[in-house]
Amino acid sequence: MIEILKSVILGIIQGITEWLPISSTGHMILFNDIWPMELSEEFVNLFLVVIQFGSILAVIVMYFSKLWPFSSKKSAEERKATWTLWLKILIGVIPAGVLGLLFDDWIDEHLYGSTVVAVMLIVYGVFFLIAEDRKREPKVKTLDQLSWKHALLIGFFQALALIPGTSRSGATILGGIWTGCARTVAAEFSFFLAIPTMFGASGLKLAKYFLRSGFGFSGIETAVLASGMVVAFVVSLIAIRFLMSYIRKHDFKVFGWYRIVLGIAVLAYFLFLK
């Protein structure tokens, strides 16, 4: 029951931090360092990625009508626009997909730690403050105006999020802002990029886990994974609605300052107090 409680807490953390630009994996690594799960290290590494399935489903449910190209309610032009959006999403996934396949094991071995998370929280917090101080009028104000070039550039920013603590949504939203997108466009495209990216990352982790272990999950592992994903799904629905409502009236500076303060606190804790 204690392990399920931890998975529920991690589901809440994942559901909130996956969509806010503050790093879901980073927060979960920090929580697991403070109150570690009493399960195998290999399963915990798997759990921290596969729990994102719940968050993916939240995006699909919320944006189903916008993402489903076969809707009878859409005109031929609207269906074509939906297919075009999906092609842009797939183009945006390529950089992270290629680098993830090449460096997944190396990243797991060398970068999954609190110090790396803290440093990246601070670095990208500063980047958010710089981006918001530029005060440029966005050129891309709707998803239809998002070009193929924008999609690929944002995809390269997403690849930076392979480093824990960076934040996938943070990197892609920041990339969108820096390339001239409105905050709402950058956020929505970030949500959509998450679908194939998370499916791919989770599928890769599952394949490697089963190849190495040679068997499925135990009863407690199944319960832990299922409870975490369900909680992540419910909380993600709330977090996505909050973020889209918030950024229509506010900028991202509060998230930048949050990252910096948290990163400094984490460094202080693990370097001087632990």
pLDDT over 70 (residue 215): no
Q: What is the per-residue pLDDT across 118-129, written as a single tens digit (0 to 9) for each? A: 899 999 999 999
What pLDDT does 50 receive?
A: 85
pLDDT over 90 (residue 69): yes
- Mean confidence (pLDDT) of the chain: 89
Task: Grade residue 268 by pLDDT with cuts at 50, 70 and 90.
Answer: confident
The amino acid present at 170, given as its one-letter code, is G
The amino acid present at 224, given as its one-letter code, is V
pTM for this one?
0.85
How far is 257 from 102, CA to CA, in rounded Å? 33
Please tell me which residue, 198 or 9, carries the higher pLDDT value: 9
Residue 45 to residues 182, 219, 222, Cα–Cα distance (Å)? 35, 18, 14
Span 40-48, average pLDDT: 83
pLDDT over 70 (residue 214): no
Span 97-115, average pLDDT: 84
- For the chain, the domains span 2-273
What pLDDT does 111 receive?
A: 82
What pLDDT does 208 receive?
A: 80
Span 210-224, average pLDDT: 80
What pLDDT does 164 receive?
A: 86
Are the C-beta atoms of residues 20 and 243 closer than 8 Å to each other?
yes
Q: What is the per-residue pLDDT across 145-171, written as a single tens digit (0 to 9) for each? A: 999 999 999 999 999 988 888 888 999
pLDDT over 90 (residue 18): no
Range scoring the smallest mean pLDDT among 8-12, 27-31, 50-54: 27-31
pLDDT over 80 (residue 273): no
Span 198-216, average pLDDT: 78
Task: Grade residue 274 by pLDDT with cuts at 50, 70 and 90.
Answer: low
